[in-house]
């Protein structure tokens, strides 16, 4: 049994670092042509470095700058990708940010920034991807599904998170977005799922692992007793995007070393 994404084109948002870069590498190694999306000029070099690793390993792809919270930029990204590669088969809705604050001190800018990237960005990219999937229709030389969307959510889709109301709200909402799309487009053979990472070692949560004290405290939340790596998410994303997962749609899969078993209750609470 082998995961194959041959002949397929995948857009991975926020792929210049962390989980997105891990997913881009996994999908490329399974044969997909990958669009390594990054948000701004500042992340262009990082995106190029990710793409270089991919092409050095024999993979194919391009980098593409687009702020996923901006409708005009998202529409243009999908138009450009379709005109260069013919279509899009897979969307990985990964771009995400945190702007943490005690709730009573949270500004409207902090709220809007997080909802804008984490939720509106996923809405915009999913809408443009589904339009393209429906335009193309099923092509069995690519996949038995018409298209695949994977939302990168979080354990905070179900675990409330004090001091992070904007982030937890965005992730909770992704669950309903994902399930609604899976329901609305199931008959069109479009599969939509979420991956919910626990603690993965990336720049977004550097404060939680960059000192031994912080890491030890983090590990008290993780029964499997290690921090996750982007590859842990990339492995599942490649499987979920492939035809091996053809009967999986409308679900959230947690990749968290057991965090959602609530380790702190392991001694009886
Ligand atoms: P990261 O900071 O390395 O990656 C986030 C990426 O999103 C960056 O490449 C950033 O440039 C990009 N981005 C931000 N705003 C953007 C925009 N407007 N348009 C396009 N791209 C934009 O952190 P990460 O941990 O790799 O996060 C990736 C996803 O995983 C996020 O959605 C995050 O919420 C989720 N997640 C991460 C963890 C974890 O422990 N690291 C846990 C649960 C969920």
In the chain the domains, ranked by start, together with CATH numbers, are 9-205+229-262 (3.40.50.720)
Pick the closest to residue 193 from 249, 233, 152, 147 (CA basis): 249
Q: How far is CA 178 from CA 152, 172, 181, in A?
A: 10, 10, 5
pLDDT tens for the chain, 269 residues long, are: 899 999 999 999 999 999 999 999 999 999 999 999 999 999 999 999 999 999 999 999 999 999 999 999 999 999 999 999 999 999 999 999 999 999 999 999 999 999 999 999 999 999 999 999 999 999 999 999 999 999 999 999 999 999 999 999 999 999 999 999 999 999 999 999 999 999 999 999 999 999 999 999 999 999 999 999 999 999 999 999 999 999 999 999 999 999 999 998 888 87
Best residue among 16, 18, 206 to mutate for probing ligand 1's pocket (most ligand atoms within 8 Å of CB) is: 18
CA separation for the pair 18, 39 (Å, rounded): 14
Q: Which residues are known catalytic residues?
A: 167
Q: What are phi and psi of 83, to 5 degrees?
A: -70, -30
Residue with tokens 């983090």: 218
Residue 173 tokens, joined: 């909402």
97 CA distance to ligand 1 centroid (A)? 6
Residue 244: per-residue pLDDT: 98
Residue 66 tokens, joined: 């687009």
Tell me how far apart the 2 most distant CA atoms of the chain are, in Å: 58
Q: Is the CB of 69 under 6 A from ligand 1?
A: yes
Environment class of 72 (CB within 10 Å of its CB; exposed 0-12, middle 13-18, buried 19+):
exposed
Pairing of strands 33-38, 9-12: parallel
Burial 169-197 (b: 16+ CB within 10 A, else e): bbbbbbbebbbebbeebeeebbbbbbbbb
13 CA distance to ligand 1 centroid (A)? 9
Residue 266: per-residue pLDDT: 87
Spatial neighbors of 137 by CB under 8 A, at least 6 apart, are 146
* Ligand 1 atom nearest to CA at 167: 34
Q: Is the CB of 21 under 6 A from ligand 1?
A: no
Rounded to the nearest 5 percent, the helix, strand and coil shares of the chain are 50, 15, 35
Pairing of strands 90-93, 60-65: unpaired
Residue 172 tokens, joined: 């909770």
* Helices 18-29, 230-241: inter-axial angle, 10-degree rounding: 50
Residue 1: per-residue pLDDT: 87
Q: Which helix (H) or strand (E) element contains residue 62?
A: strand 60-65
Say what the alpha-carbon torsion angle 160, 12, 79, 116 is, to the nearest 10 degrees.
20
Residue 137 tokens, joined: 């229709």
69 CA distance to ligand 1 centroid (A)? 13
Residue 264: per-residue pLDDT: 85
Pick the closest to residue 11 from 176, 103, 128 (CA basis): 128
Instruction: Tell me how crowded residue 66 is: count the other CB atoms within 10 A of its CB.
Output: 26
Residue with tokens 């996994």: 26
Residue 268: per-residue pLDDT: 85
Q: Is the CB of 61 under 6 A from ligand 1?
A: no
Residue 216: per-residue pLDDT: 96
Q: Is the CB of 63 under 6 A from ligand 1?
A: no
Q: Is the CB of 43 under 6 A from ligand 1?
A: yes
Model pTM? Answer: 0.98
């Amino acid at each position: 049994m082998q995961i194959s994404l041959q002949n397929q084109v995948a857009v991975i948002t926020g792929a210049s670092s962390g989980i997105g870069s891990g997913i881009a590498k996994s999908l490329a190694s399974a044969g997909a042509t990958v669009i390594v999306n990054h948000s701004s000029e500042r992340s262009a070099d990082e995106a190029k470095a990710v793409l270089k690793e991919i092409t050095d390993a024999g993979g194919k792809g391009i980098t593409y700058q687009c702020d996923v919270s901006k409708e005009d930029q998202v529409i243009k990204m999908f138009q450009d990708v379709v005109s260069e590669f013919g279509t899009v088969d897979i969307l990985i809705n990964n771009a995400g940010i945190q702007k943490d604050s005690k709730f009573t001190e949270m500004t409207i800018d902090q709220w809007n920034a997080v909802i804008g990237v984490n939720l509106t960005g996923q809405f915009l990219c999913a809408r443009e991807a589904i339009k393209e999937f429906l335009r193309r229709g099923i092509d069995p030389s690519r996949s038995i599904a018409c298209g695949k969307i994977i939302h990168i959510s979080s354990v905070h889709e179900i675990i409330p998170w004090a001091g992070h109301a904007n982030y937890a709200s965005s992730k909770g909402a992704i669950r309903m977005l994902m399930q609604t799309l899976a329901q609305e487009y199931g008959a069109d053979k479009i599969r939509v799922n979420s991956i919910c990472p626990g603690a993965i070692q990336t720049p977004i949560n550097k404060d939680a692992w960059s000192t031994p004290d912080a890491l030890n405290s983090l590990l008290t939340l993780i029964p499997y007793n290690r921090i996750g790596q982007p590859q842990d998410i990339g492995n599942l994303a490649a499987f979920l995007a492939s035809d091996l997962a053809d009967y999986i749609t409308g679900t959230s899969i947690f990749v968290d070393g057991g965090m959602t078993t609530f380790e702190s209750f392991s001694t009886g609470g």
